[in-house]
Amino acid sequence: MQLTRPDLARILERSVAERPTADPGWLDAPPARARVLRERVVLGPDASVPATADALFGWRIHRGAGLIIESTGLAATGVTVVQAVRAGPLWFAAPCRVVDAVREPDVAGFTYATLPHHPETGVESFRVVRDGDRVVFEIHAVARHDFWGSRILPRIAHRVQDRVTRGYLNSAGG
């Protein structure tokens, strides 16, 4: 947390050597005190899994949600990404590592886990799925507030998380 825009390139350089602070298994078995979030949106009639997957893997859905992104590449297993978001006068940097990725004709997406210095500890999964004749964008996140600021002000932390999640859904659906 800081008052000026974080130096994402420097944070990314530092984060590449870090190990994730959460296990992808949290999506199936959330730990105590974790907040579980599941959201989905049916995309428009012209949506396709490949086109939406291109936007997702290229971080365009994240940028469309209002995040500033610095990454070691397109989303793929092992890629490190640092995201920055502004909440009022404060900036938060959130380093993550992609721990799982799938890209098939009817399902595409990835899961990332938080790295040290992220305001939360958790995992988040993004999937584009063909569901019959519809294309659906899904988000599944499990996180707990391990940063002192989010533990003291959990409602504000939830509002920021909810705002970013709505941004992902709107960006994918738009």
pLDDT tens, residue by residue, 19-74 = 999 999 999 999 998 999 999 999 999 999 999 999 999 999 999 999 999 999 99
79 Cβ contact list (under 8 Å, min separation 6): 71, 72, 73, 97, 98
Asked whether residue 28 is domain-assigned, the answer is no
What is the model's pLDDT at position 151?
53
Per residue in 143-171, pLDDT (tens digit) is: 987 765 555 555 666 677 888 999 999 99
Answer whether 81's CB lies under 8 Å from 59's CB.
Answer: yes
Residue 92 reports pLDDT greater than 90: no
Confidence of residue 88 (pLDDT cuts 50, 70, 90): confident
Q: Mind listing the pLDDT tens digit for each residue in 4-14?
A: 899 999 999 99
What total of structural domains would you count in the chain?
A: 1
Please report whether residue 26 resides in a domain.
no
Residue 147 lies inside a defined structural domain of this protein: yes
Inside any domain, residue 159? yes
pLDDT, residue 148, reads 55
Q: If 0-12 CB within 10 Å is exposed, 13-18 middle and 19+ buried, where does residue 110 land?
A: buried
Owning domain of residue 88: 8-21+33-173
In-domain check, residue 117:
yes
C-beta neighbour count of 134 within 10 angstroms: 12
CATH (domain of 125): 3.30.530.20
The predicted structure's pLDDT at residue 154: 59
In a domain, 68, yes or no: yes
